[in-house]
C-alpha cells in the first residue's frame, strides 16, 4: 500500500475480528515498523511484545474493562521506558506516539485492523501494570497501550474529522492561503 | 512509496537543503498526513502551519539556537492544544507524536528530507512561544516542534539502532521466539 493511502485507510476499529491467525512474519514486520520510528536523542524508549499465544491472550483479556479487540488473534503490547533525555527532559511519550502510529500504519498496510487502546490501561486501575506482570515485564517498563491485530469481520464506523481549513495553514495562524 | 519502505527510508536529516521550493500542493499533502493521525478521544489537538514565505522563514530561523533545517525552503510548525480528554487526562503529547510521524513519512514519501526538532524549542528559552508569536498563534496553542521540508543536498548519516531482539518480543518480556 502507498504511504499516504495507508494513512487515509487507517482508522480505529472496535468491532469483532475473524479467527484467522496473524503469521509471526507479519507480527515481526509490524514491530519492526514500530522500531523504525524516531525517538528523542535516539534513546529508543519504546519496545513491543506481540502476544499470539491463546492462553496468554485470554489472561490479558480477562483484565480489560472494555472489550475492544478481544476477538483479535493477536495483540501488540507497547512498553515505554521513562528515560531522561536532553537537559533531563523526557520524550518517551512522543516516542511511543510516533512508534504506535508506525505500527498502526503497518497493520493497515498488511490488511489488518487495530485500535490504539491507552486511556483505561494507564488510569488509576493500573491495568497496564497487571498486563505487564503477566508478560514478566520489569518495573522499569510501563505497558502504556495495547493494539489488537487481526482481520476485521466487518467495516467499522469512522470518526468525523474537522475540515483541513481548521487545522492546516500557511505562514500564519488560520491563514488558509 | 510503499508504507514500510517509507518507514525504513525516513531518518533525521541535519544537513543542508537544495534551494528548490516545495510546491503548495505537497505542503498541503504533508499537513493532510498529519491530520490523518489518530488522537485521544478524537480531540484532534494537533494543527500545523506550513511556512514557505522567505521573510517569515528568516524571522523564525533568527530565533533558532541550532541551525537544523535553516537552508530548507519550507518548514512545518506543529501546534498542540493541551485539551482534557478521558477522565480529565491529557493525550495531546501522544497525539502530536503520532501526527509528526505521519508528517515525516509523508515528507519522505514525496522525496524530501526533514528532522523532528523539539528539544530546544520547548525548553526554558521558550523559543517555540517566540516562533508562535511571529505566526500570530494564540496562547491556547503551543508550538511544540518544527520540521524543515526540502530536497536534501546530500545523504546524511543515520543513527545506529538497537537490534530488534532488544525491542521486539513474543508473548513475554525478552522472549524472542
pLDDT (tens digit per residue) in B1-12: 899 999 999 999
- Give the closest-approach CA distance of B71 to chain A in angstroms: 17
- Give the closest-approach CA distance of A62 to chain B in angstroms: 16
Instruction: Provide the pLDDT confidence category of residue A88 given band limits of 50, 70 and 90.
Output: confident
In whole angstroms, what is the distance from residue A159 CA to residue A119 CA? 17
- Against a cut of 0.90, is the pTM above it? yes
Q: Which triple of cell numbers denotes residue B102?
A: 505521519
CB B143 within 8 A of CB B129: yes
Range list of β-strands (E), chain B: 46-51, 74-80, 142-149, 168-170
Strands B74-80 and B46-51, sheet pairing: antiparallel
Domain boundaries, chain A: 3-166
Whether B123 has a pLDDT exceeding 90, the answer reads no
CB B85 within 8 A of CB A119: yes
- DSSP letter (8 states) at residue B110: T
Per-residue model confidence (pLDDT) at position A74: 98
In whole angstroms, what is the distance from residue B12 CA to residue B47 CA? 21
Instruction: Provide the pLDDT confidence category of residue A86 given band limits of 50, 70 and 90.
Output: confident
Average of per-residue pLDDT values in chain A: 96
> CB of A116 within 8 Å of any CB in chain B?
yes
Q: Which residues of B touch A175 (CB under 8 A)?
A: 49
Residues 58-87, chain A, touching B (beta carbon < 8 A)? 85-87
A91, A109, A166 member nearest B3 (Cβ): A109
B3, B11, B48 member nearest A168 (Cβ): B48
Question: B102 Cβ partners below 8 Å, 6+ apart?
Answer: A7, A101, A105, B33, B34, B36, B37
Rounded average pLDDT over A93-97: 98
Per-residue model confidence (pLDDT) at position A87: 83
Residues 11-30, chain A, touching B (beta carbon < 8 A)? 11-12, 24, 27-29
Per-residue model confidence (pLDDT) at position A123: 85
Per-residue model confidence (pLDDT) at position A120: 83
Instruction: For CA atoms B6, B108, B10, B41, give the dihedral sign.
Output: negative
Task: Please state, in angstroms and as integers, the Cα–Cα distance from residue A127 to each residue in B26, B92, B105, following that order.
Answer: 42, 21, 32
CB A55 within 8 A of CB A4: no
Q: Are the Cβ atoms of B49 and A171 closer than 8 angstroms?
A: yes
pLDDT (tens digit per residue) in A131-150: 999 999 999 999 999 999 99
> CB of B176 within 8 Å of any CB in chain A?
no
A7, A28, A41 member nearest B102 (Cβ): A7
Per-residue model confidence (pLDDT) at position B86: 79
Average of per-residue pLDDT values in chain B: 96
Interface-testing mutation among B26, B41, B98, with chain A (most A C-beta atoms within 10 A): B98
CB B97 within 8 A of CB A101: yes
pLDDT (tens digit per residue) in B61-105: 999 988 899 999 999 999 999 999 978 899 999 999 999 999 999
Q: Are the Cβ atoms of B123 and A2 closer than 8 angstroms?
A: no
Whether B129 has a pLDDT exceeding 90, the answer reads yes
Burial of A143 (0-12, 13-18, 19+ CB in 10 A): buried
Protein fold of A3-166: NADH Oxidase (3.40.109)
> CB of B126 within 8 Å of any CB in chain A?
no
In whole angstroms, what is the distance from residue B26 CA to residue B32 CA? 10
Strands B46-51 and A168-170, sheet pairing: parallel
Q: Which triple of cell numbers denotes residue B150?
A: 526540502
Percentage of residues in chain A having pLDDT higher than 70 = 100
CATH number of B20-152: 3.40.109.10
The H or E element containing residue B58 is: helix B54-61
Amino acid at each position: 500500500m502507498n504511504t499516504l493511502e495507508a494513512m487515509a485507510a487507517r482508522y480505529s476499529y472496535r468491532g469483532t475480528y475473524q479467527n484467522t491467525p496473524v503469521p509471526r512474519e507479519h507480527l515481526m514486520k509490524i514491530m519492526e515498523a514500530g522500531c523504525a520510528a524516531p525517538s528523542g536523542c535516539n534513546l529508543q524508549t519504546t519496545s513491543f511484545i506481540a502476544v499470539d499465544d491463546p492462553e496468554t491472550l485470554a489472561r490479558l483479556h480477562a483484565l480489560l474493562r472494555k472489550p475492544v479487540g478481544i476477538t483479535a488473534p493477536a495483540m501488540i503490547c507497547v512498553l515505554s521506558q521513562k528515560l531522561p533525555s536532553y537537559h533531563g527532559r523526557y520524550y518517551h511519550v512522543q516516542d511511543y506516539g510516533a512508534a504506535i502510529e508506525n505500527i498502526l500504519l503497518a497493520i493497515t498496510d498488511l490488511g489488518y485492523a487495530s485500535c490504539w487502546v491507552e486511556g483505561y490501561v494507564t488510569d488509576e486501575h493500573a491495568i497496564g501494570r497487571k498486563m505487564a506482570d503477566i508478560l514478566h515485564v520489569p518495573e522499569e517498563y510501563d505497558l502504556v497501550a495495547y493494539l489488537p491485530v487481526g482481520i476485521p469481520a466487518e467495516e467499522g464506523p469512522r470518526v468525523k474529522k474537522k475540515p483541513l481549513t481548521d487545522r492546516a495553514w500557511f505562514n500564519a495562524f488560520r491563514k488558509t492561503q
